[in-house]
Amino acid sequence: MAYALIPDGYSLKKVTKLQDQAVNAKRRHDDTVALLNNVNTPLVIGGLITAFFGVKLAEDIIADLESRLGALSEDVKEGIRDTVNIKIQAPVITTPGGKPFRPPSITLDQIIKAIIPGGD
């Protein structure tokens, strides 16, 4: 039998496999609710969607130009990617002291390099 921290009063108890699954399901539910209630979630999702469509747009432009003009050099492809590279601005956050703070912005290239291994 496993041990689990039971949410009711937060006590550590020996639990059956079924009870352990129930506790894990409750924690997953609580994590999902916390994620959906987080004010930054739409910003993160919006940034990822923007990154995806920006990359897709650049690749579509390159494919279209290659179908019309023939093979493009890597310099031209890189120029297109840089041109389409959308800079995602971080929102202005008001600190507890009331001072505005803007975290550093991030580019599509930085997102791709962080998400996709070898996405250089």
Residue 33 within a domain: yes
Contact between 44 and 108 (Cβ < 8 Å): no
Angle, helix 74-84 to helix 41-69, in steps of 10 degrees: 150
pLDDT at 103 (0 to 100): 66
Same domain, 15 and 31: yes
Q: What does the alpha-carbon distance between residue 104 and residue 33 come to, in Å, rounded to a whole number?
A: 28
Residue 51 within a domain: yes
Same domain, 111 and 54: yes
pLDDT at 8 (0 to 100): 64
Question: Which of 82, 28, 34, 37 lies closest to 55 in space, CA to CA?
Answer: 82
What is the number of domains present in the chain? 2
Q: Which residues of the chain have pLDDT under 70?
A: 1, 3-9, 85-92, 102-109, 111-112, 116-120
| 3-state SS string for 43-99 | HHHHHHHHHHHHHHHHHHHHHHHHHHHCCCCHHHHHHHHHHHCCEECCCCEECCCCC
Q: Which domain holds residue 55?
A: 41-115
Same domain, 52 and 71: yes
Same domain, 46 and 99: yes
pLDDT at 5 (0 to 100): 65
pLDDT at 96 (0 to 100): 74
Same domain, 49 and 102: yes
Angle at 115 between CA 112 and CA 119, to 5 degrees: 50
pLDDT at 61 (0 to 100): 84
pLDDT at 38 (0 to 100): 82
